[in-house]
Amino acid sequence: MEKKNNMLNVGEIITSNINENIELKYLWEVTIWDKNFSNLKDIVLNKKIKYKYFLVKDIKKIVNNNGNVKILTTNETNLFTREELVLPFLNKGQVVCIPGGGNPIVQYFNGTFITTDNRLAVSFDENILRTKYLYYFLKNNINTIKSFYRGSSLLHPDMSKILKMQIQIPTIKHQDNIIFLLDNLNLLINKLKNNLNCEINLRKLIIKKYIENKTNSFKDFLSLKEVCAINTGKRLTRANLNKKSKYPVYHAGIKPLGYYNYSNAPKNTTMIINTGDAGKIGFSKEDFWSSDGCYWLKCNDSYNNKFLYYFLLSKEDFLKSKIRKGGIPTLNKEVVQKLKVPFVSYEEQNNIVTFLDNLLDYSNELINNLNLEIKNLEVKEKYYINKLFSYKKEIKND
């Protein structure tokens, strides 16, 4: 907490006088790229740097997360390999990259790496522009970069437009301060996210082990379709969603896609995601709208909805192992219908629910606090980035 407060104080100091001594340049003037791009007209690129590229179709063959070579794919991954597996394709140093094809993102890495079809850039002079500062500038302008990607199916960057973006270049001292601030905020956020993931995984393990120990003593089992109706919702378009509407909409995940004016599933209901994050189990304490990417379960009178939720949580790994992965990940309804659930008295179900609810109260509070702290830090990070890169000035063409 003390480190976080110190960083926020530093952030206010750094952002208070950032607009002093800022120079504005076109991106092509202060960067070096991996290729000579066509149709650049009046743009004169600095000499290119040669990189070696690895075919994306061969990535699975060389992934080894015990290795120390970063694999820079065209989407956000955390993959590594070993040097001896990719010797002809090794690159070293710091680099900023955007995809040569696909959904636009900005990545930074400093070390030994291999790359797939990325467009790679570094500063033309680290004494004038830090490459890491370049990364934060591009990341803050990702929406502008997205607008420069074109294509009917696979999107590709229009480099003539990207290279004409104007970059604010403060003094090296200010750049180093900005990098220090944003790096440390990212470290704090990532640490909190790791703590959150650990708590969520521990919670799942507690539920799984407790349910397994209990069900080992149960003798009677029924198929899921015998104890509840397995309902498929109805898809909505994004045009139907409104942040001000009352009911959360679930599709392909247990986080709301948006909000809608109507509900089609009641509160205290268990859901099973059947596409996207297929196999994931959710529980809604409020009425909601279920799309066709979400099964919602209506139990008969002999079953407690919350008991069913806890039991299915213990079966998440099994359900995920049954996902059909050709194209879009899908969990077939037949797999869900045939899943075996214990047939026990309603009283026993209530006892299990009460025990787990009480046991997980502290975990719920911790998860909520971590989520809130992450959200607050991300809001603060966005505030600093906007303030640091909001300097408005245009290059005047002669």
pLDDT(301) > 70: yes
pLDDT band at 398 (very low <50, low <70, confident <90, very high): very low
Band of the pLDDT at 394, cuts 50, 70, 90? low
Looking at the structure, tell me whether residues 284 and 374 fall in a common domain.
no
Is residue 17 located within the same domain as residue 54? no
* Residue 184 and residue 148 share a domain: no
Could you tell me if 302 and 378 lie in one domain?
Answer: no
Q: Which CATH number do you get for residue 51?
A: 3.90.220.20
pTM, rounded to two decimals = 0.73
75 and 161 in a single domain? The answer is yes
Number of folded domains in the chain? Answer: 3
Same domain as 69, residue 39: yes
Q: Would residue 350 count as lying in a domain?
A: yes
pLDDT digits (tens, 9 = 90+) for 21-77: 788 999 999 999 998 887 787 777 888 889 999 998 899 899 998 999 999 999 999
pLDDT interval class at 274 (50, 70, 90): very high
Comparing 134 with 200, which gets the higher pLDDT? 134
Residues 267, 133 share a domain:
no
Do 231 and 367 lie in one domain? The reply is no
Q: How confident is the model over 211-221, as a mean pLDDT?
A: 87
Please give the residue range of the domain that contains residue 307: 219-343
Task: Give the residue-averaged pLDDT of 11-23.
Answer: 61
Instruction: Please give the C-alpha separations between residue 148 and each of 7, 74, 226, 242, 397, in angstroms, as whole numbers.
Output: 34, 16, 53, 28, 22
Residue 204 domain flag: no
Task: Answer yes or no: do 140 and 106 share one domain.
Answer: yes
Q: Is 208 within a domain? A: no
211 located within any domain: no
Does a structural domain hold residue 213? no
Same domain, 244 and 156: no
297 and 259 within one domain: yes
Q: Are residues 29 and 153 in the same domain?
A: yes
